[in-house]
Amino acid sequence: MTLMSMIAAEFAKLARSLSWTVVVLLPAAMVLAGALSSLVAGQQPADGWHTVWLRSVVFYGLFPLAIGVAVLGSLVWRAEHRGGNWNALMSTPVSSLRLVAAKTAVIAALAMAMQLVMLLCVTVAGKAVFALPGMLPARYLLISGVIMLATVPLAALQSGLSMLLRSFAAPVAVAFLGAGASTVLLLAEIGPIVFLSPYALATRATQLGTGTFADGGEIAGATVGSLLAATALLSLVTIAGAAAILDRRDTRT
Amino acid sequence: MSVALIRAEIAKMRRLRTGIIVLVMVVGVTALAVLSALSSPDFSDPGTRSWAALLAGMSLAVPLTSPLLLAVLASRQVDIEHHGNGWLLFQTSGATRGGLCRAKLAVLGAVVCAVTAAEAGLVLLAGIALAVPGPPPLALWWGYAGAVAVVNLVLLGLHILISARVENQLAGLGIGVLGTLLAVFATGLPPLLAHLTPWGYYALATAAGYRDGELVTFVPGYASIAALAVLGGVLFAVFTTRFDRREAS
């Protein structure tokens, strides 16, 4: 089987997995919560689009993004842990690397779709709720592109955890812990953590160009470059690691 | 609810690594509460350090950390019955689905109460270690801890019911994530709106916070929390009784 047909098979399995509820509801709830807290406080976003972005995307990056990807990972692997599906998977004439890559691709695609829903919700909130002038500035589209790429290692890691742990909830708990610890390290301005922790990488990407935490406020080429380098490095290491582990797994009785 | 059922639930916890999740909860809340107090401007000078800052830190850390981890605890303890066909096994050995859920709440509930007490106790010890001046407000401290324990128990019961009723654990965890958002943002909502969801009651229990830029202590809304306890208890009893009448599957 080619990688493309495996990815197509994974998407077919997703059709009835309810993963769309996570992709749509999580970003929508984040933006709604941010907008509501502004409305209840009776204040307009002081800095226009920047404030709306801070209250939704930056907060989303602190830990809800990691949890969302973790839930998606558990959903994508859930089918393989049920009935006799694990043994069917083990006896499929497909290399572990391809299987892991296909699962990661599907989870990453859903995570990227989540960012697109986020963009849409932020735009709707800015226009319909706060009647902000103009459209969402183009820089946020660029930032979203970086965020989408930076979720790939996170997708690969959560895919690996959901592959190993049959429980739905356990990988989500790991993501919560990982995201919390990474946020504390970013708060302490330990920048190189993005090369070690996929959670820190995704969180750091959501802060790009906002001036929060360790960010300078501009979209600096060096920052984007190091984020993309970390993305490539962590994706390769995580996917290869998960494939090596899956290679050593056997059928279960 | 028999002793054997309780012992079975305790035995299940070992392989479910409940201990690790519990440890994460205690360390997470304590660390976040102390870090948030340390980062407040009042804490930079040892003379102006206050117990209120630590209580405010806890009032931030508890709603941020508890809802999702309670969902995880409940989901782990219930999901094994779906995986291992435990409902049918227990039903054929005389324990109904509702009875099993009540045993799970009893065992996990005891653990959650111990977790809450440990969180409050550790933050108190941290305050003593940081040499916060003056005697700690013990009545308010343990009153707050008791209120949080009640909210935790109600949420735990809710998550046990959801995890047992809906086999796909997405439901329970998804509600846990949305609950975290509700809990965090409820602090900024008017109290009337905070009453509408169980997660809002964390905000009603808040023991200290900033009002007009001043750090002050509040009296937790004990009456609201008591009402939540009664309502939660009655609903849990009603739903588990309905579970008892379901046919074995």
Backbone phi, psi, residue B214, to 5°? -105, 140
Give CA–CA dist A173/A110, Å, rounded.
20
DSSP B60-101: HHHHHHHHHHHHHHHHHHHHHHHHTTHHHHHHHTT--HHHHH
Lowest mean pLDDT among A53-57, A119-123, A152-156: A53-57
The backbone torsions φ and ψ at residue B212, rounded to the nearest 5 degrees and listed phi first, read 50, 40
Torsion of CA A107, A157, A204, A175, to 10 degrees: 90
Dihedral, CA of residue A9, residue A173, residue B32 and residue B189, to nearest 10: 70
Give the pLDDT score at B85.
85
From CA A245, how far away is CA A16, in angstroms rounded?
28
Nearest to B197 by CA among B175, B218, B171: B175
Phi, psi of A218 (to 5 degrees): -105, 160
Rg (CA), chain B: 19
- Which range, A71-75, A190-194, B89-93, is most confident? A71-75
Q: Is residue A252 part of a domain?
A: no
Instruction: Specify which residues B215 forms β-bridges with.
Output: B210
Chain A closest CA to B75's CA: distance in Å? 6
* Structure token digits, residue B200: 């809002």
pLDDT > 90 in chain A, percent: 56
C-alpha dist (Å) from residue A45 to A19, A28, B193: 32, 18, 22
Which residues on neighbouring strands pair with residue B208, listed in sequence order?
A: B217
For residues B241 and B96, is the Cβ–Cβ distance under 8 A? no
Q: List the domain range (segments joined by +) for residue A241.
A: 3-247
Please list every residue in chain A whose beta carbon sits closer than 8 Å to the beta carbon of residue B18: none
State pTM to two decimals.
Answer: 0.90
A-chain residues within 8 Å CB-CB of B184?
33
In the block, tokens 């895919």 appear at A159
- Residue B194 · residue B183 · CB < 8 Å: no
Smallest Cβ–Cβ distance between B189 and the set A40, A68, A74 belongs to: A40
Residue A203 CA to residue A182 CA, distance in Å, equals 8
Q: A26 CB near a chain B CB, below 8 Å?
A: yes
Structure tokens at A210: 């906002």
Q: Name the residue ranges covered by the structural domains of chain B.
A: 3-244
Q: Distance between terminal CA atoms of chain A?
A: 26
Q: Residue A155: exposed, middle, or buried by beta-carbon count in 10 A (0-12, 13-18, 19+)?
A: buried
Indicate whether A53 pLDDT > 70: yes
Which residues of chain A lie closer than 8 angstroms to B69, CB-CB?
173, 176
- Give yes or no for residue B148 having a pLDDT over 70: yes
Q: At residue B36, does pLDDT exceed 70?
A: yes
The CA distance from A72 to A152, in Å, is 13
Task: Round to whole Å and give the CA distance between A108 and A157.
Answer: 11
Within 80-119 of A, beta carbons closer than 8 Å to B belong to none
pLDDT digits (tens, 9 = 90+) for B208-240: 888 877 888 889 999 999 999 999 999 999 999
Tokens of B202: 């964390």
* pLDDT tens digits, A158-193: 999 999 998 899 999 999 999 999 998 998 888 889
pLDDT value, residue A214: 73
pLDDT tens, residue by residue, A17-31: 788 889 999 999 999
- Token code pair at residue B87: 């409902």
The pLDDT of residue A44 is above 70: yes
Residues of B with CB under 8 A from a CB of A: 16-17, 21, 24, 28, 31-32, 35, 65, 68-69, 71-72, 75-76, 79, 83, 168-170, 172-174, 177-178, 180-182, 184-185, 188-190, 193
Query: A252 vs A98, which has greater pLDDT?
Result: A98
Over 90: is that where the pLDDT of A82 sits?
no
Q: Which amino acid type is present at position B223?
A: A
In a domain, A100, yes or no: yes
Q: What is the mean pLDDT of residues A113-138?
A: 92
**What is the average pLDDT value for chain A, to the nearest integer?**
90
Q: What is the pLDDT of residues B168-194, one digit of tens each?
A: 999 999 999 999 999 988 887 888 889
pLDDT the model gives residue B200: 94
Euclidean distance between CA atoms A94 and A98, whole angstroms = 7
φ/ψ of A35, rounded to 5, equals -65, -40
Cα B152 to Cα A197, B20, B31: the distances in Å are: 31, 18, 19
Q: Which amino acid is at B247?
A: E
B147 near B220, Cβ under 8 Å? Answer: yes
Q: Cβ separation of B178 and A25 shorter than 8 Å? A: yes
Listed in sequence order, the residues at least 6 apart from A71 whose beta carbon sits closer than 8 Å to its beta carbon are A22, A172, B170, B173, B174, B177
Q: Quick check: B21 and A21 CB within 8 A?
A: no
CA–CA dist B172, B167 (Å, integer): 9
pLDDT of residue B249: 64
Per the structure block, which two tokens stand in for B164? Answer: 């047992």
Q: Is the ipTM of this complex over 0.90?
A: no
Give me the mean pLDDT over the B97-106 stretch. 94
**Which residue in chain A has the smallest CA separation from B85?**
A83
Q: Which of B21, B83, B168 sits opposite A173 (nearest CB)?
A: B21
Check if A175 contacts B (Cβ < 8 Å).
Answer: no
Average pLDDT over residues A229-248: 94
Cβ-defined contact of A64 to B177 (cutoff 8 Å): yes
User: What φ, ψ does residue A11 adopt, rounded to 5°?
Assistant: -65, -35
Interval A45-72 mean pLDDT? 90
> Using CA atoms, how far apart are residues A65 and A26, in angstroms rounded to an integer?
8
Using alpha carbons, list the distances in angstroms from residue B171 to A17, A19, A53: 12, 11, 28
On whether residue A40 sits in a domain, the answer given is yes
Residue A253: inside a domain, yes or no?
Answer: no
Which of A7-21, B57-71, B80-94: highest mean pLDDT? B57-71
Helices (H), B84-169: 86-92, 97-129, 138-165
* Domains: count for chain A: 1
